[in-house]
Structure 1
Amino acid sequence: MVASEEVLPFTQRIKKNKSLSKIWSFRYIYLFLLPALIWFLVFAYYPMYGILIAFKDFKYNLGILGSPWEGFRYFKQFLNDSSFYDVLRNTLSISALKLLFGFPAPLVLALMLNAISKGKIKRAFQTISYLPHFVSWVVVVTLLQKILSPNVGLINDIRNHMGLDSIFFMGNPSLFYPLVIISDIWKGVGWGSIIYLAALTNIDPHLYEASQIDGAGRWSTLFKITLPCLTPTIAILLIFSLSGILNAGFDQIYLMQTPATLNVSEILDTYVLKTGIQQGQFAYSTAIGLFKSVISLLLIVVVNKISKRLSDTSLW
């Protein structure tokens, strides 16, 4: 009786509060969210404590809290660094090219797959296009090196049989960006088309039936029904892409870098790795990473507001 009397006031208080009552009614379901919540707290929020290093002269023996404050010294150092503009230019150039050629590629593939009427052929093409996504960049770059090698590469073997000289593709700065864009599209186009294919299935089929009755052709149907219905999906994905324009793809770029292409391939992420891990400038590299994160946050807010005004589609 004592236990029930102690529990009763608590349950009564919950029933009086509508919000607590709703949470309490789904308490067992919320338990399923607990592992994800713990994961985010441990691996996403707790490491943010390390951001303090960007504002301190970090010393191993003193720790993060014990190290002396330096304010914005490392941010000013990065902005005044001679390599700042080169690194930023390379990052923006690669990201812009990926956005220009890589962003519409999944949409085009999804539209092409959606036009295939035979189910078996469509599933076969879908499966083939998805597979490169599951191949790591280590394997992809290794394949590129084997195919494009000046000594034993397939392309140069063909050129040699044709009486042409070998080309060192991976060491040619003028060919670095095309190789990056082509390999990025090949690896991600199939996986990126999944969202568009899902959005295409949600389009009301009666719209297509009505367009056929009105005598509309394929191109007219595409531009007046399909693409307008996909506009919200395209807008959301474009917001994410523009907000991440400073993320040029660390794995791919770092593995494809060679000393000969360093002047066009050094991006913010690889620069942070080299200054932080290889040179031991942890405070400086943390400041660079924080600078990139703040810019990305501002970009996603600005792009989201612009998208909301122009198309009434936004993340929040």
Structure 2
Amino acid sequence: MSVINKPRRSARQRFWTYLKGHWELYAFLIPGLLVLALFKYAPMSKIVIAFKNYKPRRGIAGSKWVGWANFERIFAEPVVWKVFRNTLEINLMQIAICVPLPMFMAIMMNEINCMPLKKSVQTMVYLPHFFTWVVVYSIFFNLFGGMGMINNVIKAITGSPIQFFTKGGWFRFILVISSIWKGTGWSTIVYLAAISGIDAEIYEAAIIDGASKVKQTRYITIPSLIPTLALMLTVRMGSVISGGFDQVLAFYNPSVYDSADILGTYIYRQGIGQADFSFATAVGLFESVVGLMFVLLSNFFSKKLTGRNVW
């Protein structure tokens, strides 16, 4: 009996065979990859502006090299460090609430047995995610503005309204609760998917042992969601420096610059408002490097504490 040895195909041949059989699925990636390349990778070629005294009329090639001068200016400008501190404080406040809160909301939503009610609740909490920050600002201004509904109630009780949009501390409060309202519902989708992946036999065994709903949640559901929580925290830490630009730009005004101006809005004003492109690019690059460091640290501690990491 003869055995015919078929030639073993190389990894490249296997890849192209697989791609040929699933090309329709990969075709859906093309629009996303094009957007990613156009708006994320292509701008990286302009990073060199951070090391030049860029003048639009001279172009990148004709502008004078200044080396690390723009980065030295970052460390010499007190306003940069004030903005950096504001960015950290605002984003860390939002992360501290907006990362764990969806987990508890998902646990509560999962306990709703009436499907029509459950679908209605899901729709109501998911819907704000699709509103732009300009729309969210309009809603919150009509609620918390000087003549807003909530301020009218406060004025009727205390005799004077609260200036939510012009006082630094109250303005940060508005930023946090608007982030909760807009983003928490959408984030519950991830946790609901994780809950659905928990083995039902574990709950059945707990019920047989007499565990109440509270104990099932405490000893089964929450521990099972910790890896997902760590993943969400790691991803969110990537935006602890760069996040919040759209929201703050839509909400803030000059009266709250001292407590609400963040790196993103500062770069916008320097680059677009004052045409200081080189310094704005240097601050943006500094922002990206610090953000990467936060992601790496978060990923490291996630591996140490939960045994899982993003990569």
Q: Same fold (TM over 0.5)?
A: yes
Q: C-alpha displacement at 1:308, in angstroms?
A: 1.3
Secondary structure of 1:199's match?
helix
**Residue 24 (structure 1) aligned with residue 16 (structure 2):** yes
1:229 and 2:224 matched? yes
The Cα shift of 1:99 comes to: 1.3
- Residue 248 of structure 1: how far off its partner (Å): 4.0
Q: Aligned partner of 2:44: which letter?
A: M
Which residue of structure 2 aligns with residue 113 of structure 1?
109
Distance 1:25 1:163, change over 3 A: closer
- TM-superposition CA deviations, 1:231-269 (whole Å, max 9, x none): 211111111122321134111111221222111011000
- Three-state SS of the structure 2 residue aligned to 1:247 is coil
User: Aligned to 1:47, which of 43, 46, 51?
Assistant: 43
1:177 is aligned to 172
Once residues 212 and 38 of structure 2 are traced to their aligned partners in structure 1, the CA distance between those partners, rounded to angstroms, is: 55
Change (3 A) 1:38 1:189: closer
Alpha-carbon distance in structure 2 between the residues aligned to 1:98 and 1:191: 15
Q: Which moved more, 1:89-98 or 1:304-313?
A: 304-313
Report if the CA contact (8 A) 1:87-1:268 is conserved: yes
Find the partner of 2:251 among 252, 256, 260.
256
Could you say if the C-alpha distance between residues 53 and 129 of structure 1 is closer, same or farther in structure 2, counting changes exceeding 3 Å? same
Deviation at 1:202, TM superposition (A): 0.6
Partner SS state of residue 26, structure 1:
helix
Aligned AA (2:173): P
How big is the shift at 1:287?
A: 0.5
TM-score, structure 1 as length reference:
0.90
Q: How far apart are the structure 1 equivalents of 2:132 and 2:36? A: 25
Q: How does 1:5-20 map to 2 (within 5 A)?
A: 17-20=9-12
Q: How does 1:113-262 map to 2 (within 5 A)?
A: 113-150=109-146, 152-162=147-157, 164-262=159-257
Residue matched to 2:60: 64
**Normalised by the size of structure 2, how large is the TM-score?**
0.91
Contact 1:92–1:248 (8 Å) recurs in 2: no
How many residues matched?
Answer: 301
SS at match of 2:78: coil
Q: CA deviation at 1:64?
A: 1.2
Q: Is contact 1:94–1:248 with CA below 8 Å preserved after alignment? A: no
Cα distance in structure 1, aligned partners of 2:158 and 2:40? 56
Deviations 1:99-147 (A, max 9, x none): 1122111111101101111111111100100011111110111122222
Q: In structure 2, do the counterparts of structure 1 residues 68 and 197 end up closer, same or farther at CA, with 3 Å as the change threshold?
A: same
User: What residue is the counterpart of 2:292 in the other structure?
Assistant: 297
Segments of structure 2 that go 5 or more residues without pairing to the other structure are 1-6
Distance 1:34 1:157 in 2: 52
Q: Deviations over 1:165-204 (max 9, x none)?
A: 2332211222111111111101111101000001111111
CA distance in 2, matches of 1:40, 1:125: 34
Give the drift of 1:45. Answer: 1.6
CA contact (8 A) 1:304 1:315 kept: yes
**How well do the aligned residues superpose, as a CA RMSD in angstroms?**
1.8
Q: Which residue of 2 aligns with 1:89?
A: 85
Contact 1:148/1:154 (8 A) holds in 2: yes
Separation (CA, whole Å) in 1 of partners of 2:34 and 2:139: 39
- 2:4 maps to none
Distance 2:46 2:200 in 1: 52
Equivalent residue letter for 1:45 = Y
Deviation readout 1:71-96 (Å, 9 max, x if unpaired): 11111101110202210111011011
Question: Identity, % of aligned pairs?
Answer: 36
Post-superposition offset of 1:38: 3.7
| 4+ runs deviating over 6 angstroms | none
What is residue 284 of structure 1 aligned with on the other side? 279
The 1:164/1:217 distance shift into structure 2, 3 A limit, reads same
Letter of the 1:117 partner, please give it.
Answer: N
Q: CA 1:157–1:43 in structure 2 vs 1: closer, same or farther (change >3 Å)?
A: closer
Q: Which amino acid is the alignment partner of residue 172 of structure 1?
A: K
